[in-house]
Amino acid sequence: MIRELRARLGRLVVPVTLLGAVAIIGNAHAGNYDTGSLASEFLQSRTQVTILSHDDEAAPNCKEKHFVKVTLAVLPTEQSTGAVTERKWQEQWTLNRCGTQVSYYIFFTEVGKGGAYYSIVDPPKTDTPADGVIKAEAKQ
């Protein structure tokens, strides 16, 4: 994996640092879920860190978070401009936040050989109680 990262990035990258950041932020569990992601492992780890950072802002009192699944929301499309090919797709990342599942939509773009970036859409804002758990209300 490190050789692959060196080849892609042209410099030494220590993935342990990223994995440590994922484990520390929000006491989240990053493993044991169906990733289903088309992104590279490196890009997935960066996505996890970003989602957990956003979720810590949305529910700062919830310390029990873990990823549930990743599903492909929009199939990849490719567009070539000269020698550069751009591939775009969307994924839905589901996080269990103190017993409530919330979804983040991620827009991925790969450009050329090895370049990639993503943007994130937060779940809709709700009135989250202090414990971070959203309870359903009965409608009359």
3-state secondary structure the chain: CHHHHHHHHCCCCCHHHHHHHHHHHHHCECCCCECCCCCCHHHHHHHHHHHHHHHHHHCCCCCCEEEEEEEEEEEEEEEEECCEEEEEEEEEEEEEECCEEEEEEEEEEEECCCEEEEEEECCCCCCCCCCCCCCCCCCC
Asked whether 40 and 110 are in contact (CB, 8 A), the reply is no
In a domain, 130, yes or no: no
The model carries a pTM of: 0.66
What per-residue confidence (pLDDT) applies to 35?
77
In a domain, 126, yes or no: no
Rounded Cα gap, residues 26 and 48, in angstroms: 11
What per-residue confidence (pLDDT) applies to 19?
33
In a domain, 134, yes or no: no
In a domain, 43, yes or no: yes
What per-residue confidence (pLDDT) applies to 13?
33
Quote the number of domains for the chain: 1
Query: What residue ranges of the chain have pLDDT lower than 50?
Result: 1-30, 32, 130, 134, 136, 138-140
In a domain, 138, yes or no: no
Largest Cα separation within the chain, whole Å, is 61
| Domain range for 29 | 2-121
In a domain, 100, yes or no: yes
